[in-house]
Chains A and B, each alone.
Chain A
């Protein structure tokens, strides 16, 4: 799948529409701004970004539900704007919306309905439905009403529906949203092991969970303000953003004079100071490229009459990388 300079601008209503309809838009909004991405065959690709970054708009454009303002999308070599129907045969979409099934039909009846709409031939419709249910582990619940399903089962049924046409690319919009950790783990194993590793499907998923992206995705893209600000593996993201190591030093018995000096340094350097218990225990977070400067700091603490209780290097969390990257992108 490939996108070329994909742009989506939403405009506020004009003319008569402005009078008869209410829109939250007061001025034009560029939701997706010149996004060019290439997702390789068989790759699990993650789309991340803060709320309002443009992820959902991008996925909906890729699934033909929203028309781009300009740019091009190719899925399996098919231009989705030129050959929408052909493109739809190559894609499957599962969203986190729990309402998008018929509540008073069984899981099997629901899938049979959507399979018919997806042009699955009548001769193999029942088999396709059974296979999809089996793939997500819902065979035993196939004849239960949809309204009796738990959130995890609904999520799995959404994935089963996306599998009915044996899609070349599977779009998963926040596949583990509102799932408990055990169910989420099951869904993640399904995506990574079964669909990606065993079946070699191309998977394009959006998520807010960076740890999830790290577990599932070969590569990720991070969006902010409609633009893609990073594309690469999580390892590459770490290298790009982590330029300084973080050391945590816990101390006791530091004098007020020393602390005042440290506070001054806090404003000048990458040191943050916090009182742990109000009884003279302090925690210092030091971000530095050189381990030597930490040794120097420890020496200063001891010379200042303080005691080092502990000192350790903390690996930067993925969330911190994400925040750093987004903040960095915005300040630029």
Chain B
């Protein structure tokens, strides 16, 4: 297993370093994205402080954690399906499927690089936000934040695998990615606290793991909440993982069986 993981990471690393300019562009994108929200928060000023009281009152810190960690959620949600569709269009999926490595193993291992890169992006967001724009991370409960992150990635990976199952069957356009990617980042509080939403939309936020993930992450990173204080959100994320992961496994097995029967395993 380890040699396969290394093989995938080596493959993606070699491929990535052959596109050096793209790495540089990513760095600048993150920098400009942070700068945009920094000056936006200056415009908004302290006027939204009462809405953000539980997160420390500073909009820039609030949104920095939102955009940094929602990129992680986005990776969990989309990397599995993009791995499949990418390998289908590259023509390498068939060559991988002829090996004794299981399809589920292939898509998980092929997504590792995306997770590593996203982790690197998150570190960049936090480092640039802290060093250049003065976000205070001194109170951060790092182990708590890591636990939240692991549970969040698990829950979102489950959703990502369901999304990959749709891609396996439909090839393009899966409803899971839309629902949990676009809609949940709107109601989940990536860019603003959900208290600004109408009450009925606020209630919908409770149905999506992103809400618990971002709330817990902000509490852990900005306010340094203890494990006990984070426990309700951690429990919610664990529950989401427990429900979503088995469903995703069944969905993926059925999708593979369908594609093998349909003869469309490697078509896109």
Chain A interface residues (CB < 8 Å from chain B) = 8, 10, 17, 20-21, 31, 57, 60, 63-67, 69, 85, 88-89, 91-93, 95, 97, 99-102, 104-105, 109, 112-114, 116-119, 122, 125, 161
A118 touches B99 (CB 8 A): yes
Residue of B3, B4, B171, B266 most packed against chain A (CB within 10 A): B3
Q: Is B147 an interface residue (CB 8 A)?
A: no
A65 touches B265 (CB 8 A): yes
Shortest B241–chain A CB gap in Å is: 28
B11 touches A109 (CB 8 A): yes
Q: Which residues from 161 to 207 on chain B have a C-beta closer than 8 Å to any C-beta of chain A?
A: 169-171
A234 to B169, CA, bound (A): 42
Main secondary structure of the interface of B (DSSP, over half): helix
Q: Is B36 an interface residue (CB 8 A)?
A: no
A104 to B22, CA, bound (A): 15
- Interface pairs A-B: 5 shortest CB-CB: A99-B91, A116-B7, A117-B99, A67-B260, A100-B91
Q: Hey, which chain B residues are within 8 Å of A101, CB to CB?
A: 92, 95
Q: Is B228 an interface residue (CB 8 A)?
A: no
| Nearest chain B residue, comparing its CB with the CB of A31 | B263
A113 to B97, CA, bound (A): 13
Knowing A21-B170, A119-B100, say if A66 contacts B15 (CB, 8 Å).
no
Identify A88's interface contact among B11, B19, B98, B171, CB under 8 A.
B98
| Nearest chain A residue, comparing its CB with the CB of B261 | A67
Query: Given A102-B11, A109-B10, list of 14 further CB < 8 A pairs?
Result: A10-B262, A67-B260, A69-B261, A85-B102, A88-B99, A91-B98, A100-B94, A109-B14, A113-B7, A116-B6, A117-B4, A117-B96, A118-B100, A119-B100
B257 touches A114 (CB 8 A): no
A69 to B92, CA, bound (A): 26
A100 to B8, CA, bound (A): 16
A300 to B169, CA, bound (A): 69
Q: Hey, which chain B residues are within 8 Å of A97, CB to CB?
A: 91, 94
Q: Which residues from 221 to 268 on chain B have a C-beta closer than 8 Å to any C-beta of chain A?
A: 257, 260-263, 265-266
Q: Hey, which chain B residues are within 8 Å of A93, CB to CB?
A: 98
Residue of B3, B95, B98, B266 most packed against chain A (CB within 10 A): B98
A67 touches B257 (CB 8 A): yes
Q: Hey, which chain A residues are within 8 Å of B170, CB to CB?
A: 20-21
B263 touches A66 (CB 8 A): yes
B260 touches A113 (CB 8 A): no
Q: Hey, which chain A residues are within 8 Å of B98, CB to CB?
A: 63-65, 88, 91-93
A97 to B89, CA, bound (A): 12
Q: Hey, which chain A residues are within 8 Å of B257, CB to CB?
A: 67
Q: Which residues from 1 to 42 on chain B have a C-beta closer than 8 Å to any C-beta of chain A?
A: 3-4, 6-8, 10-11, 14-15, 18-19
Identify B18's interface contact among A17, A104, A112, CB under 8 A.
A104
A76 to B45, CA, bound (A): 74
B14 touches A104 (CB 8 A): yes
B6 touches A161 (CB 8 A): no
B99 touches A114 (CB 8 A): yes
Shortest B152–chain A CB gap in Å is: 29
Shortest A94–chain B CB gap in Å is: 9
A66 touches B260 (CB 8 A): yes
Shortest B260–chain A CB gap in Å is: 4
Q: Hey, which chain B residues are within 8 Å of A99, CB to CB?
A: 90-92
A92 to B262, CA, bound (A): 23
Shortest B60–chain A CB gap in Å is: 39
B100 touches A113 (CB 8 A): no
| Nearest chain A residue, comparing its CB with the CB of B170 | A21
Q: Is B101 an interface residue (CB 8 A)?
A: yes
